[in-house]
Amino acid sequence: MRLILTAAAIAALPLTVLAQDDDPIHQAVEARHGFYQMLAINMGTLAGMAKGDIAYDEAAASTAAANIEALTKYNLPSLFIEGSESGKAEDSAAKPDIWANLDDFRAKFAGLGEAATGASEAVKGGAENVGPVVGKLGEACKACHDKYREKS
Partner 1 sequence: MAGGPRKIRLWDPLLRGFHWSLAFFVILSWCLGQFGPAKMTLHFWSGYAITGLLIFRLVWGFVGPAPARFSHFLRGPGAIRDYASHMFLRQPSYWPGHNPLGALSVIAMLAVLAAQVTTGLISDPDDYINVGPLAKYVASSTRSTAVGLHELGANLILLLVVLHIAMILFYRYWKHEDLVTPMLTGEKELPEEIARAIGGDRPTPEGERTGR
Q: Where is the binding site for heme c, in residues?
A: 141, 144-145
Q: Which is nearer to partner 1, 28 or 141 (CB)?
A: 141
Q: Which is nearer to partner 1, 47 or 61 (CB)?
A: 47
Q: How far is the CB of 47 from partner 1 (least distance, A)?
A: 4
Q: How far is the CB of 34 from partner 1 (least distance, A)?
A: 15
**Contact set with partner 1 (CB under 8 A):** 40, 43-44, 46-47, 134-135, 137-139, 141-143, 145-146, 151-152
Determine how many CB atoms are found less than 10 A away from the CB of residue 35.
15
Q: How far is the CB of 143 from partner 1 (least distance, A)?
A: 7
Q: Which is nearer to partner 1, 23 or 150 (CB)?
A: 150
Closest alpha carbon to 36 in 87, 102, 92: 92
Q: How far, in Å, are 1, 35, 67 from residue 97 at the CA level?
A: 54, 21, 29
The answer to whether 47 touches 134, Cβ cutoff 8 Å, is yes
The answer to whether 73 touches 79, Cβ cutoff 8 Å, is no
Query: Which burial class, exposed, middle or buried, applies to 129 when counting CB atoms under 10 A from its CB (0-12, 13-18, 19+)?
Result: middle
List binding-site positions. 141, 144-145
Q: How far is the CB of 28 from partner 1 (least distance, A)?
A: 20
Q: Which is nearer to partner 1, 2 or 151 (CB)?
A: 151
